[in-house]
């Protein structure tokens, strides 16, 4: 991407989009196009087409999506399917209509089958049933990556897709009901510390293994792919390393400085025992994550404390 190229970051206020924006600005890109949901509703085809006609971006990074944790995914099933299908279909098709040189679509590791062999490699897609709780979101994301793949095959465009693992970091959603496990635990420990609570309870046994990627590392990987990858097939983005839920909770507890007890409610479900992505394809291209898990948690918590009164999820 030329430094003067016009780049549209869709979803620039979210966890991923804001990290992409930071990375672009750090690398000297200044011709950036952004729009809030109020300025352009990406679920409306007419609004998206008018936006592309007006701005004519050279490149698009599509990180806009309706996202949430297990509870949100399972509660708003119709919304998660409809909104995400509309966003990606409208943006990808308008990019094609207006001659966008390159587009990058963001997926999610939930696209893989529930009982996927570990670590999950790209060729495991569509080899088995999905996890029922987030099936609508997963189907929407699969449709998005297939749109990119097939627009590339039919029209000869350069539309690529990246599938990140579990993300966390600056500008995350800390809503206790609808956020993911890491930000939810960070807020729980922080507020337990402020209130002098004797303990914090974590669901399950603490034994499931998860992979976590610091969002600024993801942004670095996405810009790397924009420069170095042009194939229609999607690419996993992760660390290739696992952390148990117990290790996750213990690390956050230490970083926050909560001195009470950590309790595991073993009557509550554990979820999938293991969920690790195979990142060998991306590593073979020359990219690896740089931020250690503890370092990423420390940086996230520092930002969380500084922005506590205005974090997403406190409204």
Stretch 154-158: mean pLDDT? 98
- Terminal C-alpha separation, the chain: 38
15 is in an annotated binding site: yes
Cβ proximity of 149 and 134 under 8 Å: no
Q: What is the pLDDT of residue 134?
A: 85
> 47-90: per-residue pLDDT in tens?
999 999 999 999 999 999 988 777 777 788 999 999 999 999 99
Residue 73 domain-assigned (yes or no): yes
List, in order, residues 6 or more apart from 38 with CB less than 8 Å away.
none
12 is in an annotated binding site: yes
278 is in an annotated binding site: no
Percent of the chain with pLDDT over 70: 100
Work out the mean pLDDT of the chain and round it to a whole number.
95
List, in order, residues 6 or more apart from 100 with CB less than 8 Å away.
52, 57, 58, 59, 60, 157
Residue 264 domain-assigned (yes or no): yes
Q: What is the pLDDT of residue 104?
A: 98
Cβ proximity of 28 and 3 under 8 Å: yes
Whether the per-residue pLDDT at 180 is higher than 90: the answer is: no
Residue 264 is part of which domain span?
7-310
Q: What is the pLDDT of residue 288?
A: 97
Residue 315 domain-assigned (yes or no): no
141 is in an annotated binding site: yes
165 is in an annotated binding site: yes
Number of separate domains in the chain? 1
Whether the per-residue pLDDT at 315 is higher than 90: the answer is: no
User: Which of these, 45, 81, 47, 41, lies nearest to 64 by C-alpha position?
Assistant: 41
**pTM value?**
0.95
Which amino acids are annotated catalytic? 137
107 is in an annotated binding site: yes
> 223-276: per-residue pLDDT in tens?
999 999 999 999 999 999 999 999 999 999 999 999 999 999 999 888 778 889
Q: What is the CATH number of the domain that holds 189?
A: 3.40.50.720
303 is in an annotated binding site: no
Between 15-26 and 215-228, two packed helices, what is the crossing angle to 10 degrees?
60
Residue 181 domain-assigned (yes or no): yes
> 121-142: per-residue pLDDT in tens?
999 999 999 988 889 999 999 9
Residue 1 domain-assigned (yes or no): no
Q: What is the pLDDT of residue 5?
A: 96
């Amino acid at each position: 991407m030329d430094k003067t190229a016009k780049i549209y970051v869709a979803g620039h206020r979210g966890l991923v989009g804001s990290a992409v924006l930071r990375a672009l600005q750090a690398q000297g890109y200044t011709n950036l196009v952004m729009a809030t949901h109020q300025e352009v509703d990406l679920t409306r085809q007419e609004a998206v087409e008018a936006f592309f006609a007006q701005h004519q971006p050279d490149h698009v990074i599509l990180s806009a999506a309706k996202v949430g944790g297990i509870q949100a995914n399972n509660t708003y099933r119709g919304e998660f399917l409809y909104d995400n299908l509309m966003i990606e279909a409208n943006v990808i098709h308008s990019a094609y209509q207006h001659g966008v040189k390159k587009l990058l679509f963001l997926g999610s590791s939930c696209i893989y089958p529930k009982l996927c062999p570990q670590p999950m490699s790209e060729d495991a897609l569509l080899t088995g049933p999905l996890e029922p709780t987030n099936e609508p979101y997963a189907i929407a994301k699969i449709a998005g990556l297939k749109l990119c793949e097939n627009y590339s095959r039919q029209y000869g465009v350069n539309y690529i897709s990246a599938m990140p693992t579990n993300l966390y970091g600056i500008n995350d959603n800390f809503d206790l009901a609808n956020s993911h496990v890491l930000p939810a635990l960070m807020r729980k420990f922080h507020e337990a510390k402020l209130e002098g609570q004797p303990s914090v309870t974590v669901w399950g046994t603490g034994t499931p293994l998860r992979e976590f990627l610091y969002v600024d590392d993801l942004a670095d990987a996405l810009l790397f792919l924009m420069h170095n990858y042009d194939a229609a097939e999607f690419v996993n983005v992760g660390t290739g390393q696992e952390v148990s839920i117990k290790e996750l909770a213990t690390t956050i507890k230490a970083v926050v400085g909560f001195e009470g007890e950590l309790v595991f409610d073993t009557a509550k479900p554990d979820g999938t025992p293991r969920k690790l992505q195979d990142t060998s394809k991306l590593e073979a291209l020359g990219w690896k994550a740089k931020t250690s898990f503890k370092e990423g948690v420390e940086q996230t918590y520092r930002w969380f404390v500084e922005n506590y009164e205005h974090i997403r999820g406190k409204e």
